[in-house]
């Protein structure tokens, strides 16, 4: 699943849309099949955590990539169909065609409802005016929750995904199952902000400081490989929880001792 920095970069690449008029529109989602932005100007494109927003006139198109979603830019009339992938949004803006494949979420709502609808999300980790204190406050509300789950909860902080969660835990020396009330929450939040901010414009996500293939992460995706710090074998498991918060997690049993 793309993390906040991936969506931040996607929104940056789509800035060309702003000020352009929609010349063709298809939302291949039953609920919004009759929505048509044709003739409207794209007012703004922006990210918030893992969510992407596009405003056309007084309406907002809200999408989320989830696990397999992608946006692709083509010239109108060119062959863009991808075997096994479903195009859910097609937007033509003059000489450019934008196609959203396998989008996990497609929603349309009035721009005036934006704050109300997205108010459940925590502060955006990549916002210029990032509210560190608010993220810390939200995480501390549940001292009996595992820190690994708390970091992934988008109601606490918008944008942290599974890769950052694993890497933050390693750099903090914290096992993901340790409880919020037993760890230095400030340290974890500051690490998250620093890592994500350092990667926000990078085509390759790096947490080790080394950009060579296979050396960009400490524990993420490295099950049974030696820890770069102590040599112990990286462990993979599942952190407790339900739904989106129950995902695979990696850690070093030596550098991140179990509680």
To the query of whether residue 110 is one of the catalytic residues in this protein, the response is: no
**Beta-strand (E) ranges in 49-192?**
51-56, 59-64, 70-74, 87-93, 96-101, 105-110
pLDDT of residue 81: 65
CATH architecture of structural domain 4-118: Alpha-Beta Barrel (3.20)
Q: CA geometry: angle at 69 spanning 64 and 74, to 5°?
A: 110
Q: Do residues 78 and 93 make contact, with C-beta atoms less than 8 angstroms apart?
A: no
Which residue in 47, 50, 138, 165 is the catalytic one? 50
Say if residue 100's pLDDT is above 50: yes
Distances (CA, A) of 122 to 32, 113, 135: 27, 17, 7
Q: How do residues 137-180 score in pLDDT, each as one tens digit? A: 999 999 999 999 999 999 999 999 999 999 999 999 999 999 99
Q: Does domain 132-251 have CATH number 1.10.8.50?
A: yes
Q: Does residue 3 carry a catalytic annotation?
A: yes
Instruction: Check if 50 is active-site.
Output: yes
99: β partners: 72, 90
Active site residue 117: no
Q: What pTM, to 2 d.p., does this model score?
A: 0.93
- The domain locations on the chain are 4-118, 132-251
Q: Cβ distance 57 to 110 under 8 Å?
A: no
Q: Which of 24, 66, 236, 247 is catalytic?
A: 247
């Amino acid at each position: 699943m793309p993390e906040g920095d991936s969506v931040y970069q996607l929104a940056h690449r789509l800035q060309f849309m702003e000020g352009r008029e929609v010349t063709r529109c298809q939302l291949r989602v039953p609920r919004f099949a009759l929505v048509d932005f044709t003739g409207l100007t794209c007012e703004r494109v922006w990210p918030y955590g893992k969510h992407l927003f596009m405003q056309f006139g007084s309406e907002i198109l809200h999408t989320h990539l989830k696990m397999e979603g992608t946006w692709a830019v083509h010239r109108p009339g060119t062959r863009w169909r991808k075997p096994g992938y479903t195009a859910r949004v097609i937007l033509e803006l003059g000489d450019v065609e934008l196609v959203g494949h396998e989008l996990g979420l497609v929603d349309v709502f009035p721009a005036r409802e934006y704050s109300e609808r997205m108010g459940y999300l925590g502060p955006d980790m990549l916002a210029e005016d990032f509210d560190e204190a608010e993220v810390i406050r939200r995480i501390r509300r549940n001292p009996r929750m595992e820190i690994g789950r708390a970091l992934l909860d988008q109601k606490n902080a918008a944008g942290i995904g599974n890769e950052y969660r694993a890497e933050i835990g390693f750099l903090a020396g914290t096992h993901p199952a340790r409880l919020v009330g037993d760890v230095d929450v400030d340290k974890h939040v500051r690490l998250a902000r620093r890592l994500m901010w350092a990667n926000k414009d990078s085509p390759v996500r790096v947490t080790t400081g080394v950009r060579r293939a296979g050396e960009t992460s400490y524990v993420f995706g490295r099950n049974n490989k030696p820890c770069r710090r102590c040599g112990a074998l990286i462990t993979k498991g599942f952190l407790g929880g339900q739904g989106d918060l129950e995902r695979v997690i990696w850690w070093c049993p030596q550098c991140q001792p179990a509680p």
